[in-house]
A and B are shown apart, each in its own frame.
Chain A
Amino acid sequence: MIRVAAVGDIHMGLDSQGLLRPAFDTLPDCADLLLLAGDLTRHGTPEEARVVAEEVTGLPVPVVAVLGNHDHHDEKPEEVAAVLNAAGVRVLEGQGMVVEVDGARVGVAGTKGFGGGFVGRSGSEFGEPLMKEFIRYTRRCADGLRTALDELAGQGCGTRVALTHFSPVPDTLAGEPPEIYPFLGSYLLAEAIDTAGADLAVHGHAHAGTEHGMTSGGVPVRNVAQPVIRRAFSVYHLHGHEAPTTASASAGAVG
């Protein structure tokens, strides 16, 4: 059994120091790894990133993260990622990471993702250059996620988790105004997850959404935005299986 802790949208600012550390200190008792599903800061400044870094520095479980839209606001996502990396957090964007848990290989593939909407109610690559680039950007994020999941399968991961900030499904947006769904996620992320396969998909971003959902391919989806789960993190127990063998599972090193 793999124990996955996850939270997103912790939106830490300079007034947040030490808020989550007491809860994170309990992680070794209940989880094998911690996933951070983006929007770790409020404005994406390196100063805010240092607050996040201090919350997780020295934790005895691996910490894997993606950035969110807030982490891009100051237009220094590389600096934010560097601050987190220096604290031992592996920040993923179109990449994967393998974690060994009691001899089992657990793969986490991550991308921030982006919006565009869901099947039948989505934008498309048409019209103004900005509109085309909007959807193409989401597609690049989804392609990176699919490739990383494929590569993790090729590396013998019996359990694989897809980590995003934006949502792959509309299920976990229930509670949000339907008019803003296209700004909250994209079916392209779910299609990538279903194509490559995964045991769990975790995202944030939708504060007024709900925790539970599922892709049309049957992959469980969890919205771990802190306002949704109403605690420092959630813990999911996954029951691994033999490494999947798919036609695209022969990829080499992960992203």
Chain B
Amino acid sequence: MNAHAGNAERAENNVEYRIAHLQERLAAGELGELGMRVEPRGSAVAVMGTVPTAHCREELLRAVDEELAGLAVHYDIVVAEAAAPDHPEEVA
């Protein structure tokens, strides 16, 4: 293995770049998801945010599993609430 090949391998395993590639996939793919926070936390990665439907949550988990394979991932994913509000706000 020459030095350049070693650099390429290190870049491929670089967690920050893997997170960036995941976020590019989430934006460009079926989900069109730009609002997800994906951040390194210690030796793991945290994925946090709100998705519109349960189907979107499944698609998100699948994409994360594929892009961050081998890494520990902490999820905090909420499906958006679709209930009517129970009170208004009086705007002074």
Q: Taking beta carbons and an 8 Å cutoff, which residues of A are in contact with B?
A: 3, 9-13, 15-16, 19-20, 22-23, 26, 30, 42-43, 70, 73, 177, 199-200, 207-208, 220, 226-227, 229-239
Which residues of B sit under 8 angstroms from A239, Cβ to Cβ?
91
Query: Closest Cβ of chain A: how far from B1's Cβ, in Å?
Result: 36
Alpha-carbon distance between A208 and B37 when the two chains are bound, in angstroms:
9
Are the CB atoms of A10 and B89 closer together than 8 Å?
Answer: no
Are the CB atoms of B80 and A226 closer together than 8 Å?
Answer: yes
Q: How many residues of B are counted as interface, with CB atoms below 8 angstroms from the partner's CB atoms?
A: 24
Are the CB atoms of A23 and B35 closer together than 8 Å?
Answer: no
Known: A13-B53, A208-B37. A230 touches B81 (CB 8 A): yes
Known: A13-B53, A70-B32. A237 touches B89 (CB 8 A): yes
Interface presence of B78 (CB below 8 A): yes
Known: A19-B53, A42-B32. A220 touches B81 (CB 8 A): no
Known: A207-B35, A227-B78. A235 touches B85 (CB 8 A): yes
Query: Closest Cβ of chain A: how far from B83's Cβ, in Å?
Result: 6
Are the CB atoms of B52 and A233 closer together than 8 Å?
Answer: no
Are the CB atoms of B56 and A235 closer together than 8 Å?
Answer: no
Q: Give 4 closest A-B pairs by Cβ, nearest first.
A: A227-B50, A207-B35, A235-B88, A42-B32
- Could you mark each residue 52-86 of chain B with 1 if its beta carbon is under 8 Å from any beta carbon of chain A, else 0? 11011000000000000000000000101111110
Using a CB-CB cutoff of 8 Å, which residues 36-56 of chain B contact chain A?
37, 49-50, 52-53, 55-56
Residue among B49, B89, B92 making CB contact with A227, cutoff 8 Å: B49
